[in-house]
Amino acid sequence: MANILWSALNMLVLLGIIYILFRAAGLVRRHMGWGAAVLFGLALLLMCSRRPTSPAGPSKNLISRAPKSGPVSNASAGHTIDLGGSNKLYLRAEYDSAGGTLTPNGLYAGVSGFMLGHDWEPALGLLQQQGTRLHYWTVLNHHWLLLGTSVFSNGREFEGLMKPDQPLR
């Protein structure tokens, strides 16, 4: 519920700023003409456009001791966790399965949903065999943003069991 309220606050602040900027553009147009209003609008667009700090690439492997080269795994498992609002955490575990035991090779996390005012950043994780299931533990950094600026950050831990896609023998 807090996630939805924070997103609504972000939306209200953003709409308020857009309203003020439209009024300012109208004032510039009325006193200085259409040319100045167009230049004012273009200047605002240039100042407001942001480039991502890092290019989007493949997900980071949350297991630090995973092998750097070679085949990643011969089996995998997936799990979904509800984060609140429309946000969901998707976990994908990769492992080698042989003789009823598994060797974890990778744990990947991704977050999807309407995230106005929120940023979820996977930090670290752990994966191990527990009976016929996989025990996972991961930490996500949750950044509360107001118009793209971080206001508060906290870490959240997620722990549980996931069923392998292929039964362990």
Q: Using one digit for the tens of pLDDT, what is the confidence trace for 79-92?
A: 888 887 778 889 98
Asked if the structure places residue 54 within a domain, the reply is no
Asked if the structure places residue 64 within a domain, the reply is no
Asked if the structure places residue 65 within a domain, the reply is no
* pLDDT (0 to 100) of residue 54: 47
* pLDDT (0 to 100) of residue 63: 74
- For residues 137 and 41, the model is more confident at 137
Average pLDDT over residues 127-131: 84
Contacts of 44 (CB under 8 A, 6+ apart): 21, 25
Average pLDDT over residues 128-151: 84
Asked if the structure places residue 139 within a domain, the reply is yes
Instruction: State the Rg of the chain over Cα.
Output: 23
Question: Cα(78)–Cα(125) distance, rounded to whole angstroms?
Answer: 14
Range of the domain at 12: 2-48
* pLDDT (0 to 100) of residue 84: 76
pLDDT digits (tens, 9 = 90+) for 24-82: 888 888 888 888 888 887 787 776 655 454 445 566 777 766 556 655 667 778 888 88
Has residue 22 got a pLDDT over 80?
yes
Sort 62 into a burial class: Cβ within 10 Å, 0-12 / 13-18 / 19+.
buried
Looking at the structure of the chain, the number of domains it has is 2
